[in-house]
Amino acid sequence: MEELSTIQKIAVMAMPLVFAIVFHEVAHGWVANRLGDPTARDLGRLTLNPIPHIDLIGTIIMPLMLFVLTDGRMLFGYAKPVPINPYNFKDPKKGMALSSLAGPGVNIVMAVICSFLLRVVMAGLEGMIPETVWSWFATPVTLMLGYGIIINVVLAVLNMIPIPPLDGSRVVYWLLPDRQAALYYRLEPYGTFILMGLIMLGVLGKIMTPLIRPLLGLLLGNGGF
């Protein structure tokens, strides 16, 4: 493959990232709405337009800093969390758990779709498109789909870690008896610091890798992308 320009690198990594985080947040709000909480809908957050979901730090500053600091090898970020009012659910604990599962769930679906487009559709198109067009088209699209798989898998696995306020913690909260759940959620103010500590100590990667590696091996194939 030909070396991509800086603009192409930003495009092939930024577009899958934006789609992944926007669909993730919209999925939370959509399921919440179906379960009886219209908060996200009423605030205009059930839209695939990325603008209402943009967070200055998580969607713009952090991804650009990561891109610069890693010489274009990494791009990651987050969007504004979709607001959910659990008291609108018949069963607040269950409603929050199901709404939270929707985000990682849609990321896995998107990773599977990207895998199908990469390994089936792109393979089928090769030879059908003139070589001059293919050489220009194949590299950025292949990389975009490959990064789409990676970003969605990482986002899904990361969010299922049961540390408040990540999505996995809502599921644990649902499964715990009320007294233990209340004690568990006392961790929430410290969740960000716990995550930062795990990252700095290299523990988070060790936790995620055993889950991420087989998923990427399955979706990307032995040859990667």
Catalytic residues: 25
Beta strands in the chain (DSSP E): none
User: How far apart, in whole angstroms, are the C-alpha atoms of residue 218 and residue 206?
Assistant: 19
User: How far apart, in whole angstroms, are the C-alpha atoms of residue 216 and residue 223?
Assistant: 11
User: How far apart, in whole angstroms, are the C-alpha atoms of residue 126 and residue 26?
Assistant: 34
Q: Which two tokens stand for residue 78?
A: 């987050």
Q: Which two tokens stand for residue 108?
A: 């896995």
Distance between first and last Cα of the chain:
11
Distance of CA 36 to the CA centre of its chain: 25
CB atoms within 10 A of CB 72: 16
How would you write 160-177 as a 3-class SS string?
A: CCCCCCCHHHHHHHHHCC
User: How far apart, in whole angstroms, are the C-alpha atoms of residue 117 and residue 125?
Assistant: 10
User: How far apart, in whole angstroms, are the C-alpha atoms of residue 56 and residue 163?
Assistant: 24
